[in-house]
Amino acid sequence: MTETNTNSRIGEELLSVNNIDLSFGGVKALTDISFNINKGEIRSIIGPNGAGKSSMLNVINGFYQPQVGHVRFKGKDYTPMRPALAAKSGIARTFQNIALFKGMSTLDNIMTGRYLKMHSSFIEQALYIGRAKREELEHREKVEEIIDFLEIEAIRKTPVGRLPYGLQKRVELARALAMEPELLLLDEPMAGMNLEEKEDMSRYIIDVNEQFGTTIALIEHDMGVVMDLSDRVVVLDYGRKLADGSPDEVSSNQDVIDAYLGVSH
Amino acid sequence: MTETNKLDTFPKLLRHNAEMRAKRPAIREKDHGIWQSWTWAEVYEEVKAYAAGLDKLGLKAGDHIGIVGSNRPRLYWTMAAAQFLGAIPVPVYADGVAEELQYILDNAEVTFVVTEDQEQTDKILSVQENVPTLKQIIFDDPRGLRDYDEDNLHDYVNVVDAGKQVVKKDLAWADRMIDATKAEKASIMLYTSGTTGKPKGVVLSHNNILITARNAVDLEGLNETDEVLAYLPMAWVGDHIFSYAQSLVAGFCVSCPESTDTVLNDLWELGPTYYFAPPRIFESTLTTVMIRMEDASKIKRKMFHYFMDHARKTGVDILDGKSVGLLDRIKYAIGNTLVYAPLKNALGLSRIRLGYTAGEAIGPEIFEFYRSLGINLKQLYGMTEASVFVAIQPNGEIKADTVGVPAPDVEVKVEDNGEIMYRGPGTFMEYYKNPESTAETKQADGWVHTGDAGFFDEDGHIKIIDRAKDVGKLNDGTMMAPKYIENKLKFFPNIKEAVAFGHDRDYCAAFINFDLEAVGNWAERNNIAYASYQELAAHPEVYKIMKEHVEAVNRSLATEERVAGSQIKRFLVLHKALDADDGELTRTSKVRRKFVAERYEPLIDALYSDKTSCHIETEVTYEDGRKGSISADVQIMDADTFPFNATAMAAAAE
């Protein structure tokens, strides 16, 4: 539909997962999954509960190590990917269950996202001298840009634990953005939100993608949101890939419809 | 004096300030967590280039240019730049839905619109085909607008850059434009909020605004060191005077908050010296303070109440410079250190030299609370059609229930039917494209109908009781001023909004909206679980509290001969909060009485029958324009009334 429009934004392959098998003991979480994510696109992973979506994200950023298969990111093979490596090479993520420092302010939480970019030593930071001071200012500026971008000025100094759920989700997105990632993994960014919060979040995701050119991989249950946002969608069911393609293709695929609505056997 | 006389238009004033106050800050905005400021010289350069850019895009003298957004420096500069070219800025309430904007933009025949961000731009784009005159749209914040490919959509930065080339080449361009501006020409068009029917465009000249603004600056002694926070809608005449015109006249700096959610914090950081807020803001601040005090430790609570009692006794007299005993003064000084100063600081009011409130009557207790803290809060009476100032309370002669004496150069009189009329330099030119309304409101001899009923008290202070057309009569001939009754109800912190009925009826009755923050807090403290406004509204305990309030109002009405007959016999608590999105309130939060009466007709009928409850279904509009409906069984309750008794005065004052 908007082929010409999207083509200019989307570049070549950024990441691919190839023939991933993941099992926990006797439970097979993922079976022979392969797909890729192109630069600049919004890629959704959908599927019923327990389909292996979160496992898939965890494989991508190295939380889980698959028994078979490998992750290829920016032309380099990782077998296996490790979380620290993923973060260093430009993959950031948010979690399905918010993982923030509840006692710290919004600002400090986002600042932690800049940790990898800081080079000053522990002593310098403790005494706030030398590089530490300059770095702090530099990073604060970047963080303020993100605060402005996500419109969370009013809660800059509020401890995160006191914020409502929807805002906490936004802070988590802010922290991930603070890493200036090339690939952003969002695990159900809209779970538990009301309609207005969902619409806001959708807008932020589109804006992040457009303004920073960040590639986004997204797990989401709300089909309306998925179909609106995504360039391509991959569908998982019982750890297997069911379909892969544009939102239109996927939503008219009989297997997908069956998996979501159920069929009489 | 001849020097200042030449400064009779906005662009001339701006040029003057750029020369005389080149290095002083003119405007500030909190951005990226830091207050960024621009000096008068910088603002002048920017506005000059912006004006040239607008000129290049085709904005002409006499054109209207819509401004949609919250208080941002670039939107204020849009006003200034438009005035450079002799074009007329038309600021619009930014929280209005697209259809409301469309009406105003179409009625004003705007050729340009300047928007704050994507949200506002989307609204304009969605209505642009219904505004045939609209040619160009300019936006301030480019976020999310990158992929829009409309040809007539421009980034503010590009417009200014284009303008810079022009000003660089033609150095005399700006001076030519400025010298061509005329004081008696229209400088701005502001739409009335539409309490009565469709909004009307009030056209005001440079003279109207500047003379009025200058008079008030002189009267109150404002100067370039004052600080103002611009946080009220730009479309409202008050903001135009306080944050724009007076800033240019007196040369003080105006600060724009970071976002609408951060206003309180920004206020606290900035500590303005000159502050305006409608009563409801003072009211909600006070409610918040009181609620937080309830949660404070026992010692703090005791200390607070002890010293607040003392302030109530002596604070106002000290502020007004009346004689107060030495002991009381010492006690007040101690209270100041322990309570008043920290409290003022927490509210961001430490440095206030002058505070105004207007738009509605303010509750005497609220008014006195702030004054007793040593804040020089004054009421004023004004309207868009008068460039705000009709009457101001003079320093040292402040009474909670009057709006003071006529402003400088303004004459005020009361007609036989009780309506207040005024005549003065701020009197508007006309209602745009509406000669009928203009003729109805503005007489040939310069007197203007305010539509408000009131009278002069024994000291020559003006007392407003209600809209003249709303003052009605009960069937037995008793006068019934709905607003007067409603205000008495609204002075209770628990009551947010009230609507009284009674014209051509046998008795008075009222709708009540409680304050969810106050009553919700009370419910929490009393272990009453609730999920929504509606649920709490039907709670018998809430009804009990409201009944007590209504009866207290009745007791106070019983002490005043003229209104003793209009006591509230029956009332109900509405099942939903009155809301501007449903058209029940104006954008400035005034009740649209007629609309409410039609919408809730079954409830009114029930109030004037013997029913004890009434079923009603109401359509509601969500913020994004979608509609839904709520239904409820609203309970109706009788309240006790009291015979007229002037001696009960003391008891009623409790």
Nearest to A144 among B32, B144, B146 (CB): B32
Query: Pairing between strand A240-245 and B25-31?
Result: unpaired
pLDDT tens figures, B91-121: 999 888 888 899 999 999 999 999 999 999 9
**pLDDT of B420 above 50:** yes
User: Is residue B417 located within the same domain as residue B556?
Assistant: no
Distances (CA, A) of B394 to A156, B314, B397: 41, 20, 6
Contact A242, A47 (CB under 8 A): yes
pLDDT tens figures, A209-247: 988 889 999 998 888 888 889 999 999 988 899 999 999
How far is it, in rounded angstroms, from Cα B568 to Cα B486?
10
Residue pairs between chains A and B whose CB atoms are closer than 8 Å: 38
pLDDT tens figures, A112-138: 988 887 777 777 777 777 788 888 888
How far is it, in rounded angstroms, from Cα A224 to Cα A220?
10
Our CA-based measurement puts residue A137 at a distance from the nearest CA of chain B, in whole angstroms, of 12
Using an 8 Å CB-CB cutoff, list chain A residues near B265: 154
Q: Which of B505, B540, B567 is CA-nearest to residue B635?
A: B540
Any idea of the CA torsion for B293, B297, B303, B308, to the nearest 10 degrees? 10
Q: The tokens of B41 are what?
A: 């010289």
How far is it, in rounded angstroms, from Cα B243 to Cα B10?
13
Cis peptide before A247 (omega within 30 of 0): no
pLDDT tens figures, B495-523: 999 999 998 899 999 999 999 888 998 89
When the pLDDT of each residue in chain B is averaged and rounded to a whole number, the result is: 90
User: Is residue B525 located within the same domain as residue B584?
Assistant: yes
Average pLDDT on B390-412 reads: 91
How far is it, in rounded angstroms, from Cα B252 to Cα B245?
10
Residue in this structure with the two tokens 């322990």, named with its chain if needed = B338
Structure confidence at residue B146 (pLDDT): 80
Our CA-based measurement puts residue A138 at a distance from the nearest CA of chain B, in whole angstroms, of 12
Q: Which of B540, B506, B519 is CA-nearest to residue B613?
A: B540
Average pLDDT on B614-625 reads: 80
Contact A152, A175 (CB under 8 A): no
Our CA-based measurement puts residue B262 at a distance from the nearest CA of chain A, in whole angstroms, of 5
User: Is residue B464 located within the same domain as residue B513?
Assistant: no
Contact A225, A202 (CB under 8 A): yes
How far is it, in rounded angstroms, from Cα B433 to Cα B430?
8
Any idea of the CA torsion for B541, B546, B548, B550, to the nearest 10 degrees? -160
Please count the residues of chain A.
Answer: 265
Using an 8 Å CB-CB cutoff, list chain A residues near B147: 5, 210
User: Is residue B458 located within the same domain as residue B579?
Assistant: no
Nearest to B262 among A149, A153, A207 (CB): A153
Q: Is B623 on the interface with A (CB under 8 A)?
A: yes
Any idea of the CA torsion for B272, B277, B279, B281, to the nearest 10 degrees? -80
Q: Do A196 and B32 touch (CB under 8 A)?
A: no
Numbered residues of chain A with Cβ closer than 8 Å to any chain B Cβ: 5, 140-141, 144-145, 147-149, 151, 153-154, 156, 196, 199, 203, 206-207, 210-211
User: Is residue B169 located within the same domain as residue B192?
Assistant: yes
> What is the DSSP-derived secondary structure letter of residue A105?
B
Distances (CA, A) of B76 to A148, A188, B100, B603: 21, 41, 22, 45
> What is the DSSP-derived secondary structure letter of residue B363?
P
Our CA-based measurement puts residue B145 at a distance from the nearest CA of chain A, in whole angstroms, of 9
Using an 8 Å CB-CB cutoff, list chain A residues near B30: 153
Examine residue B81 and state whether it is found in any structural domain, yes or no.
yes
How does residue B490 score in pLDDT terms, banded at 50, 70 and 90? confident
What CATH number did the domain enclosing B579 receive?
Answer: 3.30.300.30
User: Is residue B581 located within the same domain as residue B440?
Assistant: no
- Domain span including residue B440: 402-470
Q: Do B32 and A141 touch (CB under 8 A)?
A: yes
Examine residue B541 and state whether it is found in any structural domain, yes or no.
yes
Q: Do A154 and B262 touch (CB under 8 A)?
A: yes
pLDDT tens figures, B268-292: 999 999 999 988 889 888 888 888 8
Q: Do A148 and B623 touch (CB under 8 A)?
A: no
Examine residue B564 and state whether it is found in any structural domain, yes or no.
yes
Q: Is B144 on the interface with A (CB under 8 A)?
A: yes
Structure confidence at residue B250 (pLDDT): 96
Distances (CA, A) of B64 to B56, B115, B427, B432: 16, 14, 21, 11
pLDDT tens figures, B322-380: 888 999 999 999 999 999 999 999 899 999 999 999 888 888 888 989 999 999 999 99
Strands ordered across the beta sheet of A13-24: A27-38, A13-24, A68-73, A76-78
For residue B396, is it left (φ>0), alpha (ψ between -120 and 50) or beta? Answer: left
Nearest CA in chain B to A155: B262
Residue in this structure with the two tokens 């009485």, named with its chain if needed = B593
Which regions of A99-227 does DSSP assign to beta strands (E)? Answer: 183-187, 215-219
Least confident interval from A60-64, B132-136, B397-401: B397-401
User: Is residue B46 located within the same domain as residue B171?
Assistant: yes
Which of B470, B492, B513 is where one domain is finished?
B470
> What is the DSSP-derived secondary structure letter of residue A155?
G
How does residue B72 score in pLDDT terms, banded at 50, 70 and 90? very high
**pLDDT of B1 above 50:** no
Average pLDDT on B567-595 reads: 87
Nearest to B33 among A5, A144, A211 (CB): A144
Which of B32, B145, B155 to mutate to probe the A interface, most A CBs <10 Å?
A: B32
Average pLDDT on B37-42 reads: 97
Q: Which of A69, A61, A73 is CA-nearest to residue A28?
A: A69
Q: Is B129 on the interface with A (CB under 8 A)?
A: no
Q: Which of A125-139, B208-222, B395-409, B623-637 ranks highest by mean pLDDT?
A: B208-222
Using an 8 Å CB-CB cutoff, list chain A residues near B31: 148
Contact B605, B586 (CB under 8 A): no
What CATH number did the domain enclosing B14 receive?
Answer: 3.40.50.12780
Our CA-based measurement puts residue A126 at a distance from the nearest CA of chain B, in whole angstroms, of 24
Q: Do B144 and A210 touch (CB under 8 A)?
A: yes
Which of B258, B532, B624 to mutate to probe the A interface, most A CBs <10 Å?
A: B258
Q: Do A210 and B265 touch (CB under 8 A)?
A: no
When the pLDDT of each residue in chain A is averaged and rounded to a whole number, the result is: 87
The percentage of residues in chain B with a pLDDT greater than 70, rounded to a whole number, is: 97
List where CATH 3.40.50.300 sits in chain A. Answer: 1-90+181-265
Q: Which of A206, A264, A215, A259 is CA-nearest to residue A237?
A: A259
Q: Do A210 and B259 touch (CB under 8 A)?
A: no
Our CA-based measurement puts residue B258 at a distance from the nearest CA of chain A, in whole angstroms, of 7
Contact B373, B411 (CB under 8 A): no
User: Is residue B103 located within the same domain as residue B78?
Assistant: yes
Structure confidence at residue A2 (pLDDT): 39
**pLDDT of A7 above 70:** no
Structure confidence at residue B81 (pLDDT): 97
Examine residue B414 and state whether it is found in any structural domain, yes or no.
yes
Query: Considering its fold, how many domains does chain B have in total?
Result: 3
How far is it, in rounded angstroms, from Cα B14 to Cα B139?
23
- B335 in helix, strand or coil? helix
User: Is residue B422 located within the same domain as residue B480?
Assistant: no
Using an 8 Å CB-CB cutoff, list chain B residues near A151: 259
Q: Which of A187, A196, A142 is CA-nearest to residue A167?
A: A196
User: Is residue B145 located within the same domain as residue B20?
Assistant: yes
How far is it, in rounded angstroms, from Cα B344 to Cα B577?
31
User: Is residue B464 located within the same domain as residue B476?
Assistant: no
Average pLDDT on B477-491 reads: 85
Q: How far is CA B577 from the centre of its chain?
A: 20
DSSP letters for B13-37: HHHHHHHHTTTSEEEEEEETTEEEE
ipTM score here? 0.73
> What is the DSSP-derived secondary structure letter of residue B336?
I
pLDDT tens figures, B138-173: 999 998 888 888 899 999 999 999 999 999 999 999
The CATH code for residues A1-90+181-265 is 3.40.50.300
Give chain B's radius of gyration (CA, Å).
26
Our CA-based measurement puts residue B121 at a distance from the nearest CA of chain A, in whole angstroms, of 15
What CATH number did the domain enclosing B412 receive?
Answer: 2.30.38.10
Using an 8 Å CB-CB cutoff, list chain B residues near A147: 32-33
Bigger pLDDT: B620 or B595?
Answer: B595
How far is it, in rounded angstroms, from Cα B479 to Cα B503?
9
Contact B412, B389 (CB under 8 A): no
Using an 8 Å CB-CB cutoff, list chain A residues near B143: 149, 207, 211
Average pLDDT on B392-404 reads: 88
Q: Do A203 and B144 touch (CB under 8 A)?
A: yes
Q: The tokens of A202 are what?
A: 């959708």
DSSP letters for A206-241: HHHHHHH--EEEEE-S-HHHHHHH-SEEEEEETTEE
